[in-house]
Structure 1
Amino acid sequence: MTSARPRNPAGREAAPAPSGSGPRLGLRANLAQFALLVAVNALVGGMLGQERVVLPLLADQVFGLSASTAGLTYIVAFGATKAVTNFFAGTLSDRYGRKPVLVAGWLIALPVPLLLIWAPTWGWVIAANVLLGLNQGLTWSTTVIMKIDLVGPQRRGLAMGFNEAAGYVALAATAMTTGALADHAGLRPEPFLLGIACAALGLGLSTLAVRETRDHARAEAARHPAPTDPRHRENPSTAEVARITSVRDRSLSAAAQAGLVNNLNDALAWGVFPLLFAAHGLPAVEIGVLSALYPAVWGFGQLVTGWWSDRVGRKHLITAGMLLQAGAIGLVAAGTTVPVWTVAQVLLGVGTALVYPTLLAVVGDVAHPAWRARAVGVYRLWRDGGFAVGALLAGVLADAYGPTTAVWAVAGLTAASGLVVAVRMDETLRRPAHPSRAVPASAPSPPSASAPPASPAP
């Protein structure tokens, strides 16, 4: 005889499954592993943050790369590698499991800070950023997938908010710290010692403490309703997943282009903003503070915006965020003083916080659990391809017309992307009370007043 399980009064999170019925979904049921994965993703962000302030200055002051395009080659190398790795990370995590992919990503990270410390030529820096792209594609993609696996359908926005907040708050803290270290002790080696610590801790935690989550996705898939859209078969090929995510599904394709443009403007903030600030005479420590402010607001803001998107929906937050980003980037171009740039960086962080976790939640909403990891990989292929596109575009425009023109051009592209979301994307958040809502793997459908209770699943 089975007894009814208590339900959350808000109806937002499934109760644990009975003992022996398989993996339990929900944030509360998986809190320890979820918190551990948040910590691991903070270390992933720290690996990226070690470069945000120091590498643009290294390119200019140590390697003499005065041309913007040449200086931004490391972002192109990073972005292109990470984008392709994202795609394979989803496929590999479906085939071999999430944890092996995560551990492999950390093994690849180990030589990155050492290459940056010892680099005698710019080619070493490019090689380090190829490895960093592999690391970020494998580790960040996998922590995203694992958190979606654990929390089930009711808390996707909140889960992505915590995931992205951890990564970008750590990125901001590392960027600010490395800026201060560079100002005090020089550009090498001290700033990159933080990267060594992040890689060692990330590998240790992922190997010894993180548990596999693929069975959670399988448990959700077993209870997931059959797709109503004939284009969304339960077991499409990887090529079909790529077509659905990139073109055929309105919401997924709108999310893919918005993700690309979001990281296009992040490449601008990474590679051009520090040079723009330095051209106005700011020292490395002030550049570090400004460079850290944007990802810090972005990171902390996602703790609210991910949860908020679970309440009010995805589409309008994404549209508003893209338009706010565009205005903030324009303010950077128009500004010439630290107070103006400070306001611009805060607004850019708020806009990105509205967009970043919400786009991932859209992918989780639409994609079937059986191919969701691959859909996340395709989305992140497009999104992180924006690093390469943004670095090339910003570099070419900055060389030809100056950095201010490059900043204005990216502001215009970001505004256009927000309008595409407003026109093309459907609202993907399904309300708990809606009869077509997917039933979490750990909770049965409540009986209605006019029908007998459903028989338990075999």
Structure 2
Amino acid sequence: MTATGTALRLGLRANIAQFTLLVAVNALVGGLLGTERTVLPLLGEQEFDLSAYTAALTYILAFGATKAAVNFVAGTLSDRFGRKPVLIAGWLFALPVPLMLIWAPSWGWVIAANVLLGVNQGLAWSTTVIMKIDLVGPHRRGLAMGLNEAAGYLAVATTAMATGALATEFGLRPAPFLLGAAYIAVGLGLSLFFVQETRGHARHEATLDGAVDSGHSGSLSTWRIAGLVSWREPALSSASQVGMVNNLNDGLAWGLFPLLFAAAGLSLPQIGVLVALYPAIWGLGQVLTGPLSDHIGRKPLIVSGMLTQAVALGLVATADTFPAWAAATVLLGAGTAMVYPTLLATIGDVAHPSWRARAVGVYRLWRDGGFAAGAVFAGVIADLTSIRGATWAVAALTAASGLLAARRMYETRPGG
């Protein structure tokens, strides 16, 4: 029973108001991330004179390592204290970020701001994922994750394009980051005054018939869950390795693609369009791929999505014109859309409601560790060879990840 005496109900229709509100909140979380996508790589090169790629990617390393660790903590905190307090804490950590980026006198300030941004994204994005899974129940997880991730990454895309336009008109600072400050104010207000706690829905689902997963139901320690998600359980650990490689790709695209495009002589508005195309297709595509995974299964989309990304990265490495790069980034976004909500749905399929939030946290630890791994891997190879050489290396790794999932993963869709 809720505080008002109404019985808890699972399902998208039964919880449409809260679900829609959480979609909006996650769009704001994604929008804050999007304020950096176009501007920061160019800021590092033009205002802080960072010539080495490994040095330029330190902010992504800081962001990814922090977000990965906080994802792990977010799941445990959500189980212990509830979802809403963790969401609010995420917004509070974001408050200094735009001001630090606007006033940064050195690259160290940018790195510090991205540590706080990593905390924000780890707490806030993780919690909106968990809350939506709580609300919709077992049968519409793919749709729920598709809508959640679509909102976040469409906001990344539109904000990346908007900040490119703002930077063209007003300069790299402060205008693009003022947009992020507005996102934080609205997101914190909605989370404080309108978002409702959903932990009770997960507890309710755990009492229903059929809420028993593949042999791992009941109370488990956090370290036991970490072992299952990291290496012991084939579907969960496959999702973790695919997620990590997927975000390694994103770290490459975020940190190095704008520099590749700029070196080819593209204008700032053109770079903004290319930077936005990838997350835009990624975001829009998830509206289709999330529910599609509820019908055809998770594994086919995960495997084909990684192989599609590998092909797209190869095209990025060979292209040298705006139309060719646009086609490649559209294909990269489509491949990512196949994978992203489907991996989260897989975690929701296998993990029991009593430890699902912690399983999501461990999965997101590995997935967002890909940002940090990508910053190091792509940066070192780019310094040794070139950005194109790093892109080829990541393409090969992406193909290997998809083939490994094809061999090791089993289908997890309920009734599949």
Same fold (TM over 0.5): yes
State the partner residue of 1:96. Answer: 81
State the partner residue of 1:51. Answer: 36
Q: Does 1:418 align with 2:402?
A: yes
State the partner residue of 2:195. Answer: 210
State the partner residue of 1:105. Answer: 90
Query: What is the aligned counterpart of 2:262 among 266, 278, 284?
Result: 278
SS of equivalent to 2:139: helix
Asked whether the 8 Å contact 2:211–2:353 carries over to 1, the reply is no
Alignment of 1:374-413 (within 5 A): 374-413=358-397
Q: Cα RMSD over matched residues? A: 1.4
Opposite residue 205 of structure 1, the aligned amino acid is: L
Opposite residue 397 of structure 2, the aligned amino acid is: L
State the partner residue of 2:25. Answer: 40
State the partner residue of 2:315. Answer: 331
TM-score, length of structure 2 as denominator length: 0.98
Structure 2 unmatched ranges of 5 or more:
none
**Count of paired positions:** 415
State the partner residue of 1:371. Answer: 355
Asked whether the 8 Å contact 2:139–2:414 carries over to 1, the reply is no
Q: Does 1:116 align with 2:101?
A: yes
Query: What is the aligned counterpart of 1:73 among 26, 40, 58?
Result: 58
State the partner residue of 2:178. Answer: 193
Q: State the distance in 2 between where 1:142 and 1:156 align.
A: 15
Opposite residue 121 of structure 1, the aligned amino acid is: S
Query: What is the aligned counterpart of 2:300 among 316, 329, 348?
Result: 316
Opposite residue 157 of structure 2, the aligned amino acid is: A
Q: Which has the larger radius of gyration?
A: 1
TM-score, length of structure 1 as denominator length: 0.89
Between the aligned residues of both structures, percent identity stands at 69
Opposite residue 28 of structure 2, the aligned amino acid is: L
Deviation digits for residues 340-393 of structure 1 (CA, Å, limit 9, x no counterpart) = 101001000100000000000000000000000000000000000000000111
State the partner residue of 2:234. Answer: 250
Asked whether the 8 Å contact 2:167–2:176 carries over to 1, the reply is yes
Note the C-alpha offset of 1:233: 3.8
Q: Stretches of 4+ moved more than 3 A in 1?
A: 224-230
Higher helix share: 2
Structure 1 unmatched ranges of 5 or more:
1-16, 435-458
Opposite residue 195 of structure 2, the aligned amino acid is: V
Q: State the distance in 2 between where 1:349 and 1:190 align.
A: 27
Question: Against the structure 1 CA distance between its residues 332 and 222, is the aligned structure 2 distance closer, same or farther, given a 3 Å change threshold?
Answer: same
Q: State the distance in 2 between where 1:128 and 1:319 align.
A: 35
State the partner residue of 1:351. Answer: 335
Note the C-alpha offset of 1:184: 1.5
State the partner residue of 1:131. Answer: 116
Question: Against the structure 1 CA distance between its residues 180 and 23, is the aligned structure 2 distance closer, same or farther, given a 3 Å change threshold?
Answer: same
Asked whether the 8 Å contact 2:68–2:369 carries over to 1, the reply is yes
Query: What is the aligned counterpart of 1:169 among 154, 170, 183?
Result: 154
Asked whether the 8 Å contact 1:226–1:234 carries over to 2, the reply is no
Query: What is the aligned counterpart of 2:133 among 133, 148, 171?
Result: 148
Q: State the distance in 2 between where 1:223 and 1:20 align.
A: 19
Deviation digits for residues 98-142 of structure 1 (CA, Å, limit 9, x no counterpart) = 000000000111110110000000010000000000000000000
Deviation digits for residues 231-264 of structure 1 (CA, Å, limit 9, x no counterpart) = x141100000000111110000000000000000
SS of equivalent to 1:223: coil
